[in-house]
Amino acid sequence: MYLTSNIPYFKCWVRKEFTNGHQRDHGEYLHGLAVAVTTIPDRCLGFQVIFTGCEAEGKPNPYGGAMWARMPITALVGDIPLQEWPDRMETHLAQPWDCSSYDHGIVKIQRAQPSPWLCKINNEFHTGRYLFTVDYAESEVSEDPSQHKQSHVLILTDAGKWTGNVVALPNNRVRVTVLGDRRGSARFSTQPMDSLCGARRFVHGPRGDF
């Protein structure tokens, strides 16, 4: 797909200062649905958001039904239970690698979707909820095996002051932590994984660049 694609939509909150050039409304939030994503080289992911207006709680609300294009990933907070609003993350922490192409594909990795993920951010590990993956193509960077990066989009679920923020991390900054066994049950493990392939056993050890 070129430039903009549909995504598995998710509920979110948008930092309101992103709607007015950061001139006012800091600390206020608008509820929305993130329904599409845009990839522009050398920028972070941008999201198409439809505002729901539900934060008004029955009061008149001019935002309900309005749409905003290319909302930066750092503007978004996942609609999950929160004790307090998270600190805004610097862009290089929320998405360590910029989008590498206008051309991209969107995939939701079904086998990894129900699993808690480990996310390495600023040399610390946090848990996150996986949403979907952006993969890039048709550019010098995306076609170079040594430079290619995917963007796994997640909501941080246990990250201290950043809990709730939406991030986009490459493969060497994440790890899927729940595996199914042959009986269909699940177990939590951050240790090297046993493959589920018959009697053969494959062990995938930790990588030095994780």
Q: What is the DSSP string of 67-84?
A: EEEEEEGGGEEESS--SS
pLDDT value of position 151: 98
Q: What does the pLDDT read at residue 203?
A: 37
Quickly tell me which residue has 């522009």 as its tokens: 40
Band of the pLDDT at 1, cuts 50, 70, 90? confident
pLDDT at residue 180 above 70?
no
Asked whether residue 167 is domain-assigned, the answer is yes
The two structure tokens encoding residue 130 = 């996986």
Structural contact between residues 175 and 117, judged by C-beta atoms closer than 8 angstroms:
yes
Angle at 139 between CA 138 and CA 145, to 5 degrees: 95
Averaged pLDDT, 158-178 = 95
Residue with more model confidence, 54 or 70: 70
Would you say 30 and 51 are in contact if contact means Cβ atoms under 8 Å apart? Answer: yes
Residue 204 has pLDDT above 80, yes or no: no
Q: Is the pLDDT of residue 210 over 50?
A: no
Paired residues of 67 in beta bridges: 50
On whether residue 171 sits in a domain, the answer given is: yes
Q: 11: closest CA among 155, 199, 174?
A: 155
7 vs 114, residue with greater confidence: 7
Q: What's the rounded Cα separation, in Å, for the pair 56 and 193?
A: 47
Which pLDDT score, from 0 to 100, does residue 50 have?
98
Beta bridge partners of 172: none
Residues contacting residue 55 through CB under 8 Å, at least 6 positions apart: 29, 30, 31, 61
Mean pLDDT on 38-61: 90
Would 90 be classed as within a structural domain?
A: yes
- Looking at the domain assignment, is residue 210 inside a domain? no
Tokens of 170: 């490459």
Q: Is residue 118 part of a domain?
A: yes
pTM here? 0.84
Which helix (H) or strand (E) segment holds residue 179: the answer is strand 178-180
> What is the amino acid identity at position 129?
R
pLDDT in tens, 25-37: 999 999 999 999 9
What is the span of the domain harbouring residue 152? 4-204
- Report if residue 19 sits inside a domain: yes
pLDDT at 194: 45
175, β-bridge pairs: 118
Give the chain's domain count. 1
Assess whether pLDDT exceeds 80 at residue 205. Answer: no
192 pLDDT higher than 50: no
Encode burial over 42-61: b for 16+ CB neighbours within 10 A, e otherwise.
eebbbbbbbbbbebeeeeeb
Residues 67, 151: Cα–Cα separation, whole Å: 24
| Spacing of C-alpha 192 from chain mean position | 24
Residue at 209 is within a domain: no
Model confidence band, residue 78 (pLDDT cutoffs 50, 70, 90): very high
User: For the purposes of burial, counting CB atoms within 10 Å of the CB of 164, is it exposed (0-12), middle (13-18) or buried (19 or more)?
Assistant: buried
CB 33 within 8 A of CB 65: no
